[in-house]
Amino acid sequence: MKSSALLTALLTTAVLTIASAPVSAQNLAGMWEISQETGRGTRTLMLTLTVDGSMLTGSVTFTGGGRRGGGGGGGPQTIQISDGTIDGSSFSFTVTRTFGDNSFAQVYSGTIDGDMLAGTVEGGRGGGRPFTGKRPE
């Protein structure tokens, strides 16, 4: 009888520990559809992430734009992320974009909550701009 009560107590503790644990970094791995509101409407990009401990690697694919401010013309542009980290449900990474002889860094930082991302992008034009993300359908 005592071993049954002990087993029940251990299982209960394990379930409560798992249920209250922060979002796993592994949940951030995979593909994400990121949306940002701009002066020209909603901009969507694809983010592909890999998690290795607290390190975050991957790439961002920007859709091409035509003219000024639209991404330099042409088709999609895929850029590797750098300086990627994850700590619990918080993450950040840097994307360095290049247009001709000009380049600039954008720092993405945010949080994951289930299958949703939310955060800000710093750098480039203007101040911090919010973004949201979800798993592609």
Summarize pLDDT for 47-80 with one digit per residue, the tens.
Answer: 999 999 999 999 999 876 544 444 455 678 899 9
pTM: 0.74
Options 3.40.50.720, 2.40.128.120, 4.10.140.10, 2.120.10.30; CATH of 23-134? 2.40.128.120
Summarize pLDDT for 20-44 with one digit per residue, the tens.
Answer: 334 456 699 999 999 998 888 888 9
Q: How far is CA 46 from CA 2, 9, 20, 32, 82, in A?
A: 55, 45, 30, 6, 16
Distance CA 115, CA 24 (A): 12
Domains of the chain, residue spans: 23-134
Q: What is the DSSP letter of 4?
A: H
